[in-house]
Amino acid sequence: MEKFKKAAPILEKIEQAGFEAYFVGGSVRDYLLNKPIEDVDIATSAFPEEIKQIFPKTFDVGIEHGTVIVVYCGENYEITTFRTEDEYVDFRRPKEVTFIRSLEEDLKRRDFTMNAIAMTKDGALIDPYNGQEDIKDKIICTVGNAEDRFNEDALRMMRGVRFVSQLSFTLDKKTYKAIKRLAPLLQHISIERIYIEFMKLLKGENRSKALELIVESNLYQYLPGFAEYSKEINETARIIENKYLNELEVWAIFLISIEKEPTENFLRKWKMPVKMIRKINQMIQAFKKRETEEWTKEAIYYTGLDTALSTERIYCAMHEIEVSPRIDKIQQIYNTLPIKHRNELAVNGNDLMKWVKRNSGPWIRDALEKIEVAVVRGEVRNDKEHIKEWFNS
């Protein structure tokens, strides 16, 4: 409620200017579910230019979609003009939107009844599609005819399954049937939009069920690279059930189960950021090593603590063994490492050149690497004199 209270003066200002304004969307839904609210979304009858005249500090993000950011008390608020999306092209969201003055029309274009509830600044609810009842029954149901709504924008099918994961709700029967029938329409949706929903799905507490639904509803056949792997998706769903694993670890488990190399190519089709791809890859490589070796000081040092911990969580999940003592052990070994990073070495290239009176060259790197391993293993103490003695012997 705190966040709504803080934003209430914004609604008041818009109303004083002669327009309507409401809280809408995910924030109202999550509030009714007693869940923590991320950002409040505001919908208004005022057009973007009119909003910009009311507030001194605004900036444009998607003015063609009717969205303006208003800066108020140091926070950013997304304010979106009521709109309809009457012309859908190729099962995607429309190119153009029409701004309107009616709240009901705006709520009608929203995906699910639970997301089509508006709230006034005083907390009164406007709920023409009985979203509150569906929230009470934990049901995800489209606003109006499910097939029509998925034909308009096929991403809504992915959103539906994503909410199954996030909220532990179930799909309404007709909504589910429509997804199963229209799953192929997902082909028309850009991977960027699908990726966002899928990553949210992987973070949800009911993600195992949602992954099973992805298979059962046939949506998986239209996700990049997934078509051949219904068995492995279900297997991943089983492995991750009730386990503490982040979404990158879940990706790693799936990629390990499908045994497809190189994983970069697979993830690039999803347009995953390169940094994330690299992290997942590191986990997979470390996992392969872990299959035959226990953790040593050296292995933890070179793998890096975070990747080592992720790898162990993956290993334990896949072999169904208890994770926490093993995580503690890795942490303990890490704490005893004489250095955590190469730049903590007590010597550098200049020292080496002085000791052996040789010009700089690639030999320095080789020598430093040898010193580094010896220090990590505890074969020589990380102090200049000891290293010099060890180096010259």
Point out which residues bind ligand ATP (CB under 6 A). 25-26, 41, 93, 110-111, 115-116, 153, 155-156, 200
Q: Are strands 170-171 and 139-140 parallel, antiparallel or unpaired?
A: parallel
Residue 159, annotated as binding a ligand: yes
- Cα–Cα distance measured from residue 169 to residue 164, given in angstroms and rounded to the nearest whole number: 5
Structure tokens at 205: 């507490």
Stretch that binds Mg ion, among 22-30, 208-216, 311-319, 376-384 (CB under 5 A): 22-30
Q: Which residue lies nearer to ligand ATP by CB, 116 or 182?
A: 116
Stretch that binds Mg ion, among 21-29, 74-82, 214-222, 318-326 (CB under 5 A): 21-29
Residue 306, annotated as binding a ligand: no
Residue 3 in the binding site for Mg ion (CB under 5 A): no
Q: Which residue lies nearer to ligand ATP by CB, 146 or 316?
A: 146
Q: Closest Cα partner for 103 from 128, 70, 137, 77?
A: 128
Residue 26 in the binding site for Mg ion (CB under 5 A): yes
Instruction: Name the 3-class secondary structure at 244.
Output: coil
Residue 349 in the binding site for Mg ion (CB under 5 A): no
Q: Closest Cα partner for 62 from 92, 89, 41?
A: 41
Structure tokens at 262: 């190189």
Peptide bond into 262 cis (omega under 30): yes
State CA 272 to chain mean position distance: 11
CB of 38 to Mg ion, least distance (A): 6
> Which residue is nearest to ligand ATP, using beta carbons?
26
Stretch that binds Mg ion, among 23-31, 108-116, 142-150, 158-166 (CB under 5 A): 23-31
Q: Which residue lies nearer to ligand ATP by CB, 58 or 115?
A: 115
Residue 153, annotated as binding a ligand: yes
Stretch that binds Mg ion, among 26-34, 155-163, 176-184, 380-388 (CB under 5 A): 26-34
Q: Which residue lies nearer to ligand ATP by CB, 81 or 282?
A: 81
Residue 156, annotated as binding a ligand: yes
Q: Which residue lies nearer to ligand ATP by CB, 246 or 360?
A: 246
Q: Are strands 125-126 and 118-119 parallel, antiparallel or unpaired?
A: antiparallel
CB of 116 to ligand ATP, least distance (A): 6
210 CB-side CA count, 13 A: 26
Cβ-contact 80, 64 below 8 angstroms: no
384 is in the binding site of which of Mg ion, ligand ATP, none (Cβ under 5 to 8 A by kind)?
Answer: none
Cβ-contact 140, 160 below 8 angstroms: yes
155 is in the binding site of which of ligand ATP, Mg ion, none (Cβ under 5 to 8 A by kind)?
Answer: ligand ATP
Q: What is the 8-class DSSP label of residue 37?
A: P
* Strand spans (E) along the chain: 21-24, 41-44, 58-62, 67-72, 75-81, 83-84, 98-99, 118-119, 125-126, 139-140, 170-171
CB of 24 to ligand ATP, least distance (A): 6
DSSP string, 251-311: HHHHHHHHT-S-HHHHHHTTT--HHHHHHHHHHHHHHHHHTT----HHHHHHH-HHHHHHH
CB of 41 to ligand ATP, least distance (A): 6
Tell me, by CB under 5 A, how many residues bind Mg ion: 1
Work out the end-to-end distance of the chain between its first and last CA atoms, rounded to an integer number of angstroms: 70
Residue 75: CB atoms within 10 A of its CB come to: 13
Cβ-contact 80, 41 below 8 angstroms: yes
Q: Which residue lies nearer to ligand ATP by CB, 119 or 371?
A: 119
Q: Which residue lies nearer to ligand ATP by CB, 89 or 321?
A: 89
Residue 86, annotated as binding a ligand: no
Binding site for Mg(2+), residues?
39, 41
Binding site for ATP, residues?
26, 29, 110, 153, 156, 159, 162
Q: Could you list the residues that contact Mg ion (CB under 5 A)?
A: 26
